[in-house]
Each structure stands twice: as structure tokens, then as C-alpha cells.
Amino acid sequence: MSVVVGIDLGTTNSVVSYLKRGRAEVIPIDGKNIFPSVLSIRDGEIIVGSQAKARMMLSPETSVCSTKRDMGKDIAYDLGTEMFTPEDVAYYILKTIKEKAGSILEEKIDQAVITVPAYFTSEQREATKRAAERAGLNVLRLMPEPTAAALDYGIDQQRDQIIMVYDLGGGTFDISIMKVDKNEFEVLAVDGNSRLGGDDFDELICSRIYDKINDELGEDITSKKDKKYISALMKIRENAEKAKMDLSDLEEVEIIIPNLIDDYSFEMTLTRDEFNQLVEPLMEETIDKIYNVLKLANLTRDDIDRVLLVGGSTKMPIVKEKVRDSVKDPYVAPNVDEVVSRGAAIMAASLCVPETYDMAQINNEVNRTNEVNRVNEINGVNLDKKIIVKEKVVFTYGIDMLDENRKLYFRPIIKRGSTLPAKGAVLGYTSTPLQKSVVITIYRGESKSVKENQYLGELELDIVNVSEKNVPVCALFEIDENMIITFTSIEIPMTEEYRELMDSSGNDGGNMDVDLINKYLLEGKLKGKKIKIDAKAHLK
């Protein structure tokens, strides 16, 4: 038998859950509910999790952490004997979680919902999905972390409500507003920064420590390459994070690091007020995003019924204070580190129900009933209560086109607010006789002027039927449930066969019949050139 799980693949820690008799439960790996997202090499062997985290202190040059921040980037970490990309690290973490959770439950685990920050780019999402597939997991859905959190919170709620999820983790910040109506979750707006999280708060404390060391020793230890300095930086980072966490409960902490460099020991006092002042710019950035997301959703703070705090960094008292001042008193889930994974487990169970249900329908009635009971037994899900999550496209996507005066303008194809999955296509033409290729430039934004929108990429298409006349070219956007964006440009032959398709765009070059285009592409009648778009613009 196999069990479906929800995995919160976090910057700092990862958590895996499953649904047991209708309730989401965390599966403890190595005896703990949170699994450090750290990889290390020990005597040539790759280790991940708690062991790797412990090893990090001893051997920082053969260990790596917080790699989620680099996900989708073309980089690799050199750990001495081997190189690892961020995707490789995610693969080892997921593989270990899959194997260990499977042996704890004594079940096979081969399907999962994996959570990603709402503001992860298309490339980052794809890298996450590939890592999971390499680990032998069929990804039922890549789910935005705030939606997963809302699912865990909202699934027991009876009345309709508008909730805001403020999710500040180790490396990312997401803010979402969604409407929850029993089992239906509709995302109204999202904003965030995939490079802002607890690590940045730690880094500010580290800078304070470096300055003090610089004053006392007269050297900038951050620029040194010796092992003893690298190891000192690791110790400082660890102590900075500990001080930050302690300041969540205490008004003042002592940072003491004996024998930091040779016989030099470090000592410093940090009060919560000093810390709050230090991190004010980071906090302000998150508050600005709160106002922006309200604006995007066309709502005011009074429309928000609940604010949910999610992610380890929301344990900082300053977060609660700032959220209270800008919106309202937030609700803090009992196990703030686990809500995302639990929500993903609920979604995973819900997603795999219909498949089993359909399969069972093919068999006879007795088999079907047995199958349904089995699914209910494993997942505790009522088949009638399928969870519906409606994600929205948060920006308008389109291309540049020439108007009648041969001036460039932004032509939207998928509009902001469209429900996922979304698709759209427009028709354009080559602009000069005997034109051999067209370059279509892809943008995201709300302005009519391409210059004011965000450039996402471009695609050059060679024209096969070069002609004196203007050759029709179609630009097709598809955004799937996982927010992975595909752009295709297709030359449309000027024959009668494609008349219906051309007509579907109307006289104004409006949206074309996407299903018909896809049918022709599938049949091989039309040939397109495809790219996956890195929606870099999501980054900030």
C-alpha cells in the first residue's frame, strides 16, 4: 500500500506530514518533527538532516545549508570531493525524507504535494519538481506555502472568511490574501520576496559582531580564507541565530564565543530593543508588502477577518507587534513550523482521492466500494469534500507588438487575476516582406508601455514560408497549476486549413482558440518553438 504525503521543503528545515484518519500528522524523522535542510559529506558519504547540521560546525567546507535560496540558479557548491547544485541538495533531502518516512509508516511513499514560496519563480518551481521526481516522488502539486498554511487552519472552519497569511521563514517571505469558504480556497492576491527571511536577520547580528571584532582585533575576518576564519564565521552565524531566537523570549542576551580565533574569545550583549532597531528595515519591507497586497486585492485592513502567522521567523515578537499595528492582532498556530506541511498533506490526500475513485469506477461496484473505503481509511478524507484551491495569476503576461504607427506596445495575453491553469494566444504578423525570423519579447506588467513592464525573455522563431506578404505568427502562453509558464510561438501557414483558427482571433487580433492550436500542435500539423519562462519578476 502507498501513502501520499505533504512536504514542506524549507530553507532551514523541512517537514513531512500525512493524513491519518482525517487529521494531518507530522512524521518524525530521526525522532524529530523538523528535518534540517542541510547536506554534508562525511568520509566520502553524503549525509543530510540533523547529522549534516551537526557536521556543519566541524566541517563547514564539506557542508551546505540554506540552498533553497539558490534554487533554479545555475550554480554548484564545491564540497571538496563533489559538486552539488541546489537541485541536487533538494534531491538528497527529499530522497532521505521519502525513505525514512516510508520506513516509519511501513508504507511506500511515491506521491507528494511539495510546497514552494508563493513567490518562487517558474525556474525555481521546475527545479523543485525535478528534484522530487529524481527522488522517486510523483509531484501531485507544487503548492504555495501560504495556501498550505491556510488549508491547515481553514479546513476546520465553518464560516466564510478573508484571511491574510504572513509567512516569514528562514529564507523567504510571502504574503497572501485568500478567501476561505469551507473546502474552497481562493487566492485573492500575493506578494513577497523570495530572498528575505530569518537568515537576513541573523546576518545583521553577524555584521554587528564582525564590527566589534574588527574594533578589537583590527582585522576583517570576513575577508580571510584560512580554515580557522571560515570556522569562526560558522560559529558566529550559529551564535547569531541562537541570540535572535533567545531574544524571542528574553529582553537581553549575552553572546559569548570562547576561543573564537586562537585564544581570542568574543563577548557582547544584545538587547531586544537593539535587535528591533537593527532589523527595522527588514520589518518595514514586509509591512510595505502588506499594504501592497491589500491594494492588489482591493481590500482594506478592516476586510481581513484573520491574519495567520506562518514560518519560524514569526516567533520574533517584533513581527507580531508590526502586524498588529498595520492590520490586526495575528493568530499564531500552535506549531507554526508544521502548518505548511500539514496543509500540504491535506491537499495531497484530497488530490489523490479522485484518481483512485475514477480507477475504482472502472471495476465492479464491490471493488469500487472497497477502494473508496480503503482510501477513506488511509486518508480519512470524505470523497464528497474535495478541496478546491483556486490560485490566481498575480501579474499580466504578454508580448510586445507593433501598432499601426509601427510603435511598440504591450499586448497582454494572460491577464492578472485569471484563475490557474490559464492560457491565451494572440495573432501577430511579420512586419517586413521576406522576413526570415521574428523575435517575440515577453513581459510581465500592467502598463501599456513595454518599457515600464518587466522583461522576462525572448524567443526567436525562424519563418519557414518566407513570403512577400505578412506571415501570421501566433504567441501562446500557458501557465499550469504549479505556476510553471510555457511560451510558444507558432508560424501559421496561410492556407484554407487554418482559416478557422485565424478567424478565432477576430479582426482585432484578439485571443485565439488555444485548444485548436494545441490540437494542431499535437497532430504535428503546426510546429512551434517553446520556452519555459523564468518569471524573474517574481523575485521582488
> Closer to ligand AMP at the Cβ: 284 or 500?
284
Query: Residue 172 CB, nearest distance to ligand AMP (Å)?
Result: 8
> Closer to ligand AMP at the Cβ: 244 or 423?
244
- Does residue number 312 form part of the binding site for ligand AMP (CB under 6 A)? yes
Which distant-in-sequence residues (6+ apart) come within 8 Å of 67 by Cβ? 37, 39, 77, 84, 86, 89, 90
Query: Residue 291 CB, nearest distance to ligand AMP (Å)?
Result: 23
Residue from 72, 170, 398, 424 in contact with ligand AMP (CB under 6 A): 170
Query: Residue 315 CB, nearest distance to ligand AMP (Å)?
Result: 4
Rounded Cα–Cα distance for residues 196 and 115 (Å): 17
Residue from 248, 470, 486, 511 in contact with ligand AMP (CB under 6 A): 248
Query: Residue 311 CB, nearest distance to ligand AMP (Å)?
Result: 4
Which distant-in-sequence residues (6+ apart) come within 8 Å of 242 by Cβ? none
Burial profile 398-407: b = 16 or more Cβ within 10 angstroms, e = fewer = bbbbeeeeee
Residues forming beta bridges with residue 454, ordered by sequence position: 444
Task: State the cell numbers at 197.
Answer: 527571511
**108-116 and 138-144 beta bridge pairing:** parallel
Q: Give the HSE-up count for residue 144: Cα atoms under 13 Å, Cβ half-sphere.
A: 35
Stretch of 48-56, 309-317, 325-333, 513-521 contacting ligand AMP, by CB under 6 A? 309-317
| x/- track of binding to ligand AMP for residues 150-169 (CB under 6 A) | -------------------x
Q: Which amino acid is at 491?
A: E
- Does residue number 146 form part of the binding site for ligand AMP (CB under 6 A)? no
Stretch of 55-63, 238-246, 286-294, 351-359 contacting ligand AMP, by CB under 6 A? 238-246
One-character DSSP codes across 164-214 = EEEEE-SS-EEEEEEEEETTEEEEEEEEEETT-SHHHHHHHHHHHHHHHHH
Question: How would you list the strands of the sheet with 388-390, edge to edge?
Answer: 331-332, 306-310, 161-168, 173-181, 184-193, 388-390
3-state secondary structure of 106: coil
> Closer to ligand AMP at the Cβ: 243 or 442?
243
User: Containing H/E element for 8?
Assistant: strand 2-9
Query: Residue 4 CB, nearest distance to ligand AMP (Å)?
Result: 22
Residue from 3, 4, 10, 387 in contact with ligand AMP (CB under 6 A): 10
> Closer to ligand AMP at the Cβ: 147 or 396?
147
- Does residue number 245 form part of the binding site for ligand AMP (CB under 6 A)? yes
| x/- track of binding to ligand AMP for residues 329-358 (CB under 6 A) | --------x---------------------
Stretch of 10-18, 355-363, 372-380, 518-526 contacting ligand AMP, by CB under 6 A? 10-18
- Give the burial class of 64: count Cβ atoms within 10 A of its Cβ; 0-12 exposed, 13-18 middle, 19 or more buried: buried
Interface with ligand AMP (CB under 6 A): 10-13, 169-170, 198-199, 241, 244-245, 248, 311-313, 315-316, 337
